Copies of this chain bind each other. A is one copy, B any other.
Amino acid sequence: MSTSPNAPYHHGNLRQALLEAALVILEQQGEAGLGLRDLARAVGVSPAAPYRHFDSRAALLEALAVTGFQRFSARMEEVAATHSDDAMAAMGKTYVVFALQNANLFRLMFSPQLKKEARPGLRMAADAAFETLRHVVGGDVREGRIKALAAWAKVHGLAVLLLDGQIAIRAGEDTEALVAEIIGSL
């Protein structure tokens, strides 16, 4: 996500350039600042150009959420592969840190406005992320699902409470250290 939203677009993959610029705008200005015309201006293409790739603003938001889940899954898989002893704790911390570092993207990924039932691509991307967790949890089908949902609820709740400013962080307290302690505590 190092693309400047003001870097003019020259050649290559326009869809990818639009998505990268949109991710920067999303984090800097929030979802409200993200329109297809603003995006065209940021990438330096004609106002009509983004419509070749995204039918509507909703389609752009969906594509951003899908990209978010893909990056998130890739990071979770990498952590699971490199932390065989404490994969659950490492993944939990990664989940919360991802949310804190990409707050607006995280909110968009889990926005109730982007209904996953009506968006098969988004549903698949979200399910793939859950499957990474489900695989690490192990167990039989039924028990494994419940345990994975419990682990998900805990890290999602922690992420949301921190993002929404509900947990009182004490003066001098390190948020990531607190996250690691909470995740390791049960």
Interface, chain A (partner B; CB < 8 A): 110-112, 115-117, 126, 146-147, 149-150, 152-161, 163-167, 178, 181-183, 185-186
Give the dominant DSSP class at A's interface: helix
Minimum CB–CB distance for A7 against chain B, Å: 31
Minimum CB–CB distance for A131 against chain B, Å: 12
The count of identical subunits is 2
**Option from B112, B146, B149, B181 in Cβ contact (under 8 Å) with A163:** B112
> Within the assembled complex, what's the spacing in Å between the Cα atoms of A158 and B153?
5
Once A110-B166, A166-B110, A186-B186 are accepted as A-B contacts, the answer to whether A161 and B156 lie under 8 Å apart by CB is yes
Can you list 10 A-B contacts with CB-CB less than 8 angstroms, sorted by A residue number?
A: A110-B164, A110-B166, A126-B166, A146-B182, A146-B185, A149-B185, A152-B157, A153-B155, A153-B157, A154-B154
